[in-house]
Amino acid sequence: MAATRYRRFLRLCEEWPVEHTKRHRDLGVFLRQRVAQAFREGENTQIADPETCDQMYESLVRIHTNYYKNKYPRLKDTSFTGVTVEDCKMILATDILKQMEDMKKGTWRKLREKFSAKKPEEDSK
């Protein structure tokens, strides 16, 4: 039975898209890592709680297939702010978030990072 669960999770991982704009924050990558951890022995992995495993799988399938989006369709594809889905995806891209974080820095901090021999990560320790 564990082999069937393993194959189902593998199939879900194959179908789940990877968003390259969200480096280190992508749900597809996280899902693949968690499946690899949970099924370290592949089809021979012993599952302690099969019911919970099945519930997790079914929940992930509902997310992947947009079950609730299809069940409760929206009248418009915008939020209360008027921002479209494409705009939200662009704003949440890792590169844009990094640029926004850089814009938040003060002038003194930018100069210090520019002329400092240390990396900014070392400075915050």
pLDDT in tens, 3-40: 889 899 999 999 998 887 777 778 888 999 999 998 98
Q: How far apart are CA 91 and CA 85, in angstroms?
A: 10
pLDDT in tens, 82-99: 778 777 777 777 676 677
95 and 67: one domain?
A: no
Q: In 3-state terms, what secondary structure has residue 75?
A: coil
pLDDT at 21: 74
* Of 56 and 76, the one with more pLDDT: 56
In a domain, 123, yes or no: no
Cβ neighbours of residue 105 under 8 Å, at least 6 residues apart?
113
Identity of the residue numbered 111 = L
Give the domain range for residue 102: 75-118
Whether 76 has a pLDDT exceeding 80, the answer reads no
Supply the pTM of this predicted model: 0.62
39 and 100: one domain?
A: no
In a domain, 35, yes or no: yes
What CA–CA distances, in Å, run from 99 to 54, 92, 103, 107, 123? 41, 11, 6, 15, 20
15 and 68: one domain?
A: yes
- Under a CB-based contact definition with an 8 Å cutoff, are residues 5 and 47 in contact? yes
How many domains, in total, are found in the chain? 2
67 and 111: one domain?
A: no
